[in-house]
Amino acid sequence: MRVAVGIGALFLAGWNCVACGGSNSDSHPPALSSAGSSATAGSGGGSDLNLGSSGNGSGTGPDLSDACAAKISTAQAIPLDMYIMLDTSGSMLAATANQVSKWDAVKVALESFLKDSASAGLGVGLQYFPLPKPNAPASCSSNAECGDSGPCFLKFCFNSSNLFPCQADSDCVTSTGDNAGPCKQIALCSKDQSYICPNPGSACQAQGTTADLGTCEAVTESVCEHTTSCDVAQYTAPATAIAPLPGAAAGLIASIDAQSPAGDTPTGPALNGAIAQAKTWATAHPDHRVVTVLATDGVPTECTPDAINDVAALAKAGVSGNPSISTFVIGVFGPDDVADDAPTNLDKIAQQGGTNKAFIVDTQKDVTTQFQAALDSIRGARLACQFLIPEPTSGGTLDYGQVNVAFTNGTKKSVVYYVKNAAGCDGSTGGWYYDVDPSAGTPTKIVACPTTCSTFEAAPEGASVGIALGCGTIVK
């Protein structure tokens, strides 16, 4: 359950600091230490918050004493925008346990989410992968016609279980030494082209029968094998730009309805482009939280980077950058994918992208319900981990060296420590930082480190986050 905001998460303003010192950089307690008494009701629509001494087990923890009591004002939620990178590869046409394709089940879930009244105010943009190369020909009769999209698919490994392309017999030998060759020209029987035949010009006969299937005729026109774009810029440009719901819903739904899954899975450039678009949008909208959502049913099969650790590194660069972009991951997997460790691979991307764990949708269960639940959970992140910086009620210029974050989980109060930037976030102790270093510009948001964010999201009902102005920032 995530932290309640609006009633529960409170910004502390209107401070009168009588005996507050500067930033305490000498104390190094845990990022969430036990603290003193809880908030008590005040007058004039606010209340007084008494943050007592926050110990680290040695009695030398930081102190937000009674002299730093402050008024409380209700938090302003930070708008959340999602840039969704949606897998439309051919494998999305595979059937689920409900006998509908993965694509149809996901489409229903996504469109329901876009129309849900609870999504009002959420910003959503979309792009799909794979995208075709702009110069890829629709058909070919030779390798030369394909250019960088080639070769032309005119040959296949004759003893493979499907049409596995090749250019020479050596292409049909697997890494384990199995041989699916020879490499043959694709040829079809003239009277029934569902039959593939080995020798163009010869008579076709169905195996085990005397049926006349006509003449074996070589295929002279086909498609280029590598039409998938690996250009990050193509995935950066949205199919539908980020815009707030419900107004944007009709355009997004029309875009989704127009898709026909086909092709392979260029996860690397797709994620790279999604993060780039989210950064561009976040830079133009500094008062918003912007995240990417990678929804896929497989691991990379085309383009580089294609190793999971390298793709995860893209997500890490996104969350470590400025502005910081978190990557949420939704995987739609059947039993074979689970056996191949696909969920673990997507977990790596989510972990490096600052969201801890991928949402895994099991195709043996109701895909639509699971996929929409994942989107609902991501939508809930709008309030948990980023907060607007309050203005001092007395006016004047805010001193960014006199801001502190406190967390109350219903039974104890804790101080969350300032770590300067995302790179300073500790995987075990967490912390918080400004979206812009005050020494380099003007901050607009307070951002919780991933570990602290997880603590906020897992907090019980009634938990709260407060921001106190007027006492020296407590630095880890």
- For the segment 278-325, what is each residue's pLDDT rounded down to a tens digit? 999 999 998 888 999 999 998 899 999 999 999 999 999 999 888 889
Task: Provide the 3-class DSSP secondary structure of residue 140.
Answer: strand
Per-residue model confidence (pLDDT) at position 50: 35
* Residues 225-243 as b or e (16 or more Cβ within 10 Å = b): bbbbbbbbebbbebbbbbe
Q: Nearest 5 degrees, angle CA 434-CA 436-CA 439? A: 100
Element (H, E) at 314: helix 308-320
What average pLDDT does the structure give for the chain?
82
Q: Nearest 5 degrees, angle CA 362-CA 366-CA 367? A: 60
H-helix segments, 353-402: 367-379
Average pLDDT of span 333-354: 89
**The sheet that has 403-408: what strands, in order across it?**
40-41, 47-49, 70-74, 10-13, 464-469, 403-408, 413-416
Per-residue model confidence (pLDDT) at position 432: 93
Q: Give the Cα separation of 351 and 368 in Å (integer).
A: 24
pTM of the entire structure? 0.70
Out of 11-25, 136-150, 199-213, 443-457, least confident range: 11-25
Domains, the chain: 10-77+385-469 (no CATH), 80-132+229-379 (3.40.50.410), 143-218 (no CATH)
Average pLDDT of span 230-240: 97
Average pLDDT of span 417-421: 93
Give me the sign of the Cα torsion angle 229, 230, 234, 236. Answer: positive
Res. 221: pLDDT tops 90: yes
Per-residue model confidence (pLDDT) at position 76: 54
- How far apart, in Å, do the first and last CA atoms of the chain sit? 27
| Cβ neighbour number for residue 442 with a 10 Å cutoff | 12
Contacts of 461 (CB under 8 A, 6+ apart): 1, 4, 410
C-beta separation of 12 from 468 below 8 A: yes
Looking at per-residue confidence, does 52 or 409 come out higher? 409
Res. 36: pLDDT tops 50: no
Res. 236: pLDDT tops 90: yes
Over residues 322-336, the pLDDT tens digits come to 888 999 999 999 888
Res. 151: pLDDT tops 70: yes
Average pLDDT of span 40-57: 31
Q: Record the tokens describing residue 320, joined without a space.
A: 């470590």
Res. 6: pLDDT tops 70: no
Q: Record the tokens describing residue 286, joined without a space.
A: 């500094």
State the pLDDT confidence band at 129, using cuts at 50, 70 and 90: very high
Looking at per-residue confidence, does 340 or 215 come out higher? 215
- The residue assigned the tokens 């060759």 is 181
Across-strand partners of 464? 408
Percentage of the chain modeled with pLDDT above 90:
52
Res. 91: pLDDT tops 80: yes
C-beta separation of 160 from 174 below 8 A: no
